Structure 1
Amino acid sequence: MILKTGTKPLWNFASWFIITSTVLVSKFFLKFCTSSYNVYNQEPFIKTLMDPNRTRPILTVANHLSTLDDPLLWGSIPFKNFLRRHRTRWTLGAQEICFTTPKLSKFFALGQVIPTIRGAGIYQPAMNFALDRLNEGKWIHIFPEAKINQTTELIYFKWGIGRLIMESINPPIVIPIWHKGFEKVMPKERDHTWIPLFGKNIVIVYGDPIDFKDILINYHAGKTDEATVRIIVTNIIFNTMTKLKKNSELLEAKKI
């Protein structure tokens, strides 16, 4: 399926309506359907996202706990962010889950979800499309584990994250996000896996922006080979996410 990037007013309005409506539902769920939800260190991300002078794209990265991670994560963001469609995220979504029927396909396409074929590699059309959006200065969000992981340990990240960072014309500002609790909202091991559970505790921790500019300067100057840089970039993000996980545990321990 080929997505539209929004040149027609009707498509733009429909996309904005789907995104803002979904965000409002997410905000309602976080506020009224959870026992508690706490958000930490969000200010640097919001400042970067809302900066009118920003020229670089944004790439957010998060662990993947459930089918509702996106959009519930964005229910924690001030609603004014979504009043302008160009400030809303594009994200990769599994084609076999999000694009199985014409109606679902239309809904997710309007919601700026990019149909991704699992196992098709880092050079598939979905990755090319995401790279194009980064080159337009947009915000891309990915789950680099590439599947739902409700264990206590991160799955090592797929190489696609390295490609998006390395091949962007203007290196993206990378912001890691660690969250906890959505695996209890949508646990996999139960009869009705499509119905969210209420009354759970949600924690969302934003990391500080990661800048790969210096690493990429050496890469583009031919001083470092592609495979090495891809490993370095992926390792940095993976290790940052691991530290963010530990930090979230410390933040929650202080509240007890």
Structure 2
Amino acid sequence: MCVEYANSCSIYGLNSELQNIFKNRKKSILTVCNHMSCMDDPLLWGSLDYSQLFSKNGPRWSGAANEICFSNLFTRLYFYLNRAVPIIRGGGIDQPGINFLIDRINDGSWVHVFPEGRVNDTNDYVRFKWGIGRIIKEATVNIDIIPIWHCGFQNILPNKTPYFPRFGKKTLVYYGKPISTITLKNKLKEYNKLTITDYIQNEMYMLKKKATSIFDKIT
């Protein structure tokens, strides 16, 4: 993959526990990460090996912007084949794409989401969308929620013309500790879409501090 061979990637937090979660898939998995580039999804999973990517129930399902990723026949075919699900921006949290991802969680699959809801290449604070809260709230099975923060992907494919990959860039992927929905229910006084979204957002921004602190030192 581009991030693995043409660029350098430092990986943190991917301990034996997390590797086994990805490989064995004893529970549904919900991975959550920041969104800095249109290449985030393929670049990010270069940090896992094939046994972790293509374990039980296959690779991840992921939400993708309908107006960008499904705008013509070629892109629709490409993203459908890569298990991307159209999400309509401004379509609310009860739209078919979110329903589909909830169904995949409940059948034991791995789902990935970008809760910022858009590319945020300036690394600004962005309020997370409630869709992630709904996915977790309506799961009927126990989930391993895995927060991930990455740095530098926007330098490989900047969100501006010309749109082609750059090489020789440094990147970083930081895996946070997995959070089970059972643990989440015990920690939250009220278990609803808003409180769940806020909790995941706080976990992500704490992870961001760790990741950016390291990344600033190596670049």
TM-score, length of structure 1 as denominator length: 0.78
Does the 8 Å CA contact 2:53/2:60 hold for their aligned counterparts? no
2:122 counterpart (145, 151, 155): 151
Number of residue pairs matched by the alignment? 218
Amino acid in the other structure paired with 1:45: L
Q: Distance in 1 between matches of 2:6 and 2:147?
A: 26
Q: Secondary structure at the match of 1:115?
A: strand
Partners of 2:153 and 2:135 lie apart in 1 by 26
Give 1:17's aligned residue. none
Alpha-carbon shift at residue 84 of structure 1 (Å): 4.1
Higher helix share: 1
Deviations 1:204-249 (A, max 9, x none): 0000001231554799xxx84xxx6222211111111111111113
2: CA distance, partners of 1:217 / 1:38: 34
User: Structure 1 residue 87: deviation in Å?
Assistant: 3.6
Per-residue CA deviation, residues 26-67 of structure 1 (Å, 9 max, x unaligned), is: x2x123321x21011112322112226x1x211000000000
- Provide the secondary structure at the position in 1 that maps to 2:177: coil
Q: Which of the two has higher C-alpha Rg?
A: 1
Question: What percentage of residue pairs aligned between the two structures are identical?
Answer: 37
Map 1:103-114 to 2 at 5 A.
103-114=74-85
User: Structure 1 residue aligned with 2:133, among 162, 169, 172?
Assistant: 162
Please list the CA deviations of residues 115-155 of structure 1 after superposition, one character each: whole Å capped at 9, or x if unmatched: 11111010000001000000101000000000000123231
In 1, are the aligned partners of 2:12 and 2:174 still within 8 Å (CA)? yes
Shift of 1:173: 1.2
Shift of 1:186: 1.6
User: Is the 1:49–1:87 contact (alpha carbons within 8 Å) kept by the matching residues of 2?
Assistant: no
Question: Matched residues in 2 for 1:207 and 1:82: separation?
Answer: 18
CA change 1:242–1:217 in 2 (3 A) is: closer
Please give the root-mean-square deviation of Cα atoms over the aligned residues, in Å: 2.2
Where in structure 2 are the equivalents of 1:36-51 lying within 5 Å? 36-43=8-15, 44-51=17-24
CA contact (8 A) 1:166 1:216 kept: no
The residue matched to 2:180 in structure 1 has which SS?
coil
Q: Distance in 1 between matches of 2:185 and 2:111?
A: 19
Q: Which residue of 172, 177, 181 maps to 1:203?
A: 172
The letter of the residue matching 2:200 is I
Q: Distance in 1 between matches of 2:184 and 2:68?
A: 36
Q: Distance in 2 between matches of 1:110 and 1:137?
A: 19
Q: Report the counterpart of residue 98 of structure 1 in structure 2.
A: 69
**Matched residues in 2 for 1:50 and 1:200: separation?**
29
Map 1:1-256 onto structure 2 (within 5 A): 27=1, 29-34=2-7, 36-43=8-15, 44-51=17-24, 54=26, 56-84=27-55, 86-189=57-160, 191-192=161-162, 194-216=163-185, 224=190, 229-252=192-215
Deviation at 1:106, TM superposition (A): 1.4
Shift of 1:170: 0.7
Q: Work out the CA distance in 2 between the residues paired with 1:149 and 1:78.
A: 27
How has the CA–CA distance of structure 1 residues 152 and 81 changed in structure 2, closer, same or farther, with 3 Å as cutoff? closer
- Matched residue, 1:10: none
Deviations 1:58-97 (A, max 9, x none): 1000000000001110011012224446141000011111
User: Structure 1, unaligned stretches of length 5 or more?
Assistant: 1-26
TM-score by length of 2: 0.91
Single out whichever of 144-153 and 242-251 deviates more from structure 2: 242-251
CA distance in 1, matches of 2:155, 2:63: 23
CA shift, 1:202, in A, is: 0.4
Alpha-carbon displacement from aligned partner over 1:174-194 (angstroms, at most 9, x marks no partner)? 1000000011112224x31x2
Moved more, 96-105 or 118-127: 96-105
Tell whether the 8 Å contact from 2:60 to 2:112 is kept in structure 1 after alignment.
Answer: yes
